[in-house]
Amino acid sequence: MQFLFVADPLSTFNTKKDSTFAMMREAQKRGHVVFFCEPKGISWEVGGKVMAQVHQLRLTGELHNWYEEVVVEQQALASFDAVLMRKDPPFDSEFFYATHMLSQAEREGAKVYNKPAALRDHPEKMAVMEFPEVLGPTLITRNPQDIRDFHAQHQDIILKPLDGMGGMGIFRVGADGMNLGSIIETLNQQGATSVMVQKFLPAIAEGDKRILIIGGKPVPYCLARIPQGNEVRGNLAAGGKGVAQALSESDKAIAVKLGPVLLKRGLLLVGLDVIGDKVTEINVTSPTCFQEIQQQTGCDVPSLFVDALELAIQTSL
């Protein structure tokens, strides 16, 4: 089969850690043909099909020169057996427009994972709000006074932008309210920008767990991203230490509850962020941690994913 990966530039890939690379490697190992394009390479002319400037790749197995381009050509997205949307956040206007072109490609017969409509319907910070039973105290608002009231109620809080990734723009404000006004001004921009505010969860000391759900079922291991030093963020991009561990009973219960619901909506791959027994985010754009989990536990996450992808293609999920 032919798989098209829509992702960030190949030059940005860290092949020691990148989950999209791990998917590509497993696909090629099984005899599938790997293609790549950036979102900016997708186009749609009236009366025609959604096209892309695609690069057929051969993975070399080398560390640095890790791929060779076999063919570069214009090709309809509907001509591929699967299109995998793996563009990293932020979910900005260009990402939004790309999902609409991918939706058109679906109407032309393309099979896109995760489904473009599901990507639009599940912004990563906000999607969790639908599941209050697994969520700690959380507020999304543009009103600075709402934030101050939330702080007065919960004392120790986390503030974050809705379009951040990798721990970018996350602040903690304790009971003394130190710098709360300045942080609100920075994130809220005088009411112009929505902010997510959550009660601080002390269980972050044990790690911000990334639980992967593939084909509606949880991978049996998660990656606990543990903050280092005085840092409040566990994100690997913010210096957190990634420790793979077996899912707890609480982790399993959360995954079993949310997994089938999200799969039914067209989300083949989901990454839940869990602190203690509370979900803080539902990641759907380009969930990662495949290689870290595999390297530490031997659990072949890329294989689990390609198994689910092949089944989805065969069953027209």
Per residue in 111-121, pLDDT (tens digit) is: 999 999 999 99
CATH of residue 180: 3.30.1490.20
For residue 313, pLDDT over 80 is answered with yes
For helices 19-29 and 290-297, give the axis angle rounded to 10 degrees.
Answer: 70
| pTM, to two decimals | 0.94
| 7 domain residue, yes or no | yes
For residue 237, pLDDT over 80 is answered with no
The pLDDT score that the predictor gives to residue 124 is 86
For residue 234, pLDDT over 70 is answered with no
CATH of residue 234: 3.30.470.20
| 54 domain residue, yes or no | yes
If asked whether residues 158 and 58 sit together in one domain, one would say no
The whole-angstrom separation of Cα 20 and Cα 302 is 9
If asked whether residues 294 and 214 sit together in one domain, one would say yes
Tally the domains of the chain.
3
If asked whether residues 12 and 110 sit together in one domain, one would say yes
| 82 domain residue, yes or no | yes
If asked whether residues 172 and 260 sit together in one domain, one would say no
| 126 domain residue, yes or no | no
The percentage of the chain sitting over the pLDDT mark of 90, rounded to a whole number, equals: 88
If asked whether residues 291 and 214 sit together in one domain, one would say yes
The pLDDT score that the predictor gives to residue 99 is 97
For residue 314, pLDDT over 90 is answered with yes
Which of 93, 121, 149 delimits the end of a domain? 121
If asked whether residues 189 and 221 sit together in one domain, one would say no
pLDDT tens digit sequence for 163-182: 877 778 899 999 999 999 99
Which of 63, 90, 121 delimits the end of a domain? 121
| 130 domain residue, yes or no | no
If asked whether residues 187 and 212 sit together in one domain, one would say no
Q: Is 52 helix (H, G, I), strand (E, B) or coil?
A: strand
If asked whether residues 299 and 253 sit together in one domain, one would say yes
pLDDT tens digit sequence for 250-274: 999 999 999 999 999 999 999 999 9
Distances (CA, A) of 242 to 13, 60, 238, 277, 292: 19, 28, 11, 18, 7
CATH of residue 57: 3.40.50.20
| 129 domain residue, yes or no | no
If asked whether residues 271 and 291 sit together in one domain, one would say yes
Which of 121, 146, 177 delimits the end of a domain? 121
Read off φ and ψ for residue 142, nearest 5 degrees: -110, 0
For helices 180-188 and 144-154, give the axis angle rounded to 10 degrees.
Answer: 140
| 71 domain residue, yes or no | yes
Rg of the chain in Å (alpha carbons) = 20
* Residue with tokens 């409509």, as numbered in its chain: 117
Catalytic residues: 125, 160, 210, 225, 233, 273, 281, 283
If asked whether residues 16 and 71 sit together in one domain, one would say yes
If asked whether residues 71 and 172 sit together in one domain, one would say no
Q: Closest by alpha carbon to 306, among 37, 20, 106?
A: 20
User: Confidence band (pLDDT; 50, 70, 90) for 82?
Assistant: very high
If asked whether residues 185 and 246 sit together in one domain, one would say no
First to last CA, the chain: 16
The pLDDT score that the predictor gives to residue 30 is 98
Q: Closest by alpha carbon to 155, among 208, 197, 206?
A: 197
Range of the domain at 167: 137-200
